[in-house]
Amino acid sequence: MPQTPHIEKHFTSSEMVRDIVIGMSDGLTVPFALAAGLSGAVSASGNNLIITAGLAEVAAGSIAMGLGGFLAAKTDAEHFVAERQREYEEIKEIPEKEIAEVADILKEYGLTDEMADSVTKSICADEKRWVDFMMRFELGLEEPDPRRAGQSALTIALSYIAGGMVPLAPYFFAKSVHEGLFGSIVLTLVALFVFGYIKGRFTTTHPFRSAWQTVLVGGLAAAAAFGIAKWLG
């Protein structure tokens, strides 16, 4: 009897999604809070000031966030190289201990002593395969993509810009600060909900919970900024 082929659906672009989430979440939240705070402090005709300050923040924020992503990815790559070199040194200096560690790892996966010994000999017969095994199963490290740093920086920066323009957009067309603030609140909360839902679809099994949590965080940040500006003003 013919069977339907089993197709596994796993999401494998977690690093890119993480970068988009980092950039977009901050891009939506920080300029939103800044615009809301300024709206509580400037006059009714202060749209130009909010737009100028908002664009400056988006530019500075995207550069800072992108640079942070670049440095984080470079650090990961350097850490991997250092740990790999350390593993090569250990299999030369203390091979018996490293062989025992391979066997112990295999036994944790349910192999018998006899099977573990056989597989251990096969793995340790080749230095590169041996080190690859230890990096993956002892240290839990995967070799980073050499292009990762640049891609991470660009993804985070562009995501920040895309997110940051959402709360600022209404101020370009509004006749007053209050009108711009209202439009910014509506548009940004909708964007936060959609972004949170999409993020939840990729990263969790509860997309609606992710959506409401994202809205709550962004809304609280903006409300706090607006309240402080009103209080100090």
54-109: pLDDT as tens digits: 999 999 999 999 999 999 989 988 998 999 999 899 888 888 898 888 888 888 88
pLDDT at 45: 67
Sign of CA dihedral 57, 196, 193, 8: positive
% of the chain residues with pLDDT over 70: 90
pLDDT at 160: 94
Task: Report pLDDT digits (tens) over 133-168.
Answer: 888 888 888 888 878 889 999 999 999 999 999 999
Could you say which DSSP state residue 136 is in? I
pLDDT band at 15 (very low <50, low <70, confident <90, very high): confident
pLDDT at 3: 53
- 36 vs 221: which has the higher pLDDT: 36
Nearest to 226 by CA among 178, 191, 175, 189: 178
pLDDT at 10: 45
pLDDT at 7: 45
pLDDT at 12: 45
Q: What is the mean pLDDT of residues 119-126?
A: 88
> What is the C-alpha separation between 86 and 123, in angstroms, rounded?
18
pLDDT at 139: 85
Does residue 11 surpass a pLDDT of 50? no
Q: Which residue pairs from 129-136 have beta carbons closer than 8 angstroms and sit at least 24 positions apart in sequence?
A: 130/91, 130/98, 130/102, 131/84, 131/87, 131/88, 131/91, 133/102, 133/105, 134/87, 134/91, 134/98, 134/101, 134/102, 135/80, 135/83, 135/84, 135/87
- Kindly report whether the global pTM for this prediction surpasses the value 0.85: no
pLDDT at 6: 44
pLDDT at 13: 55
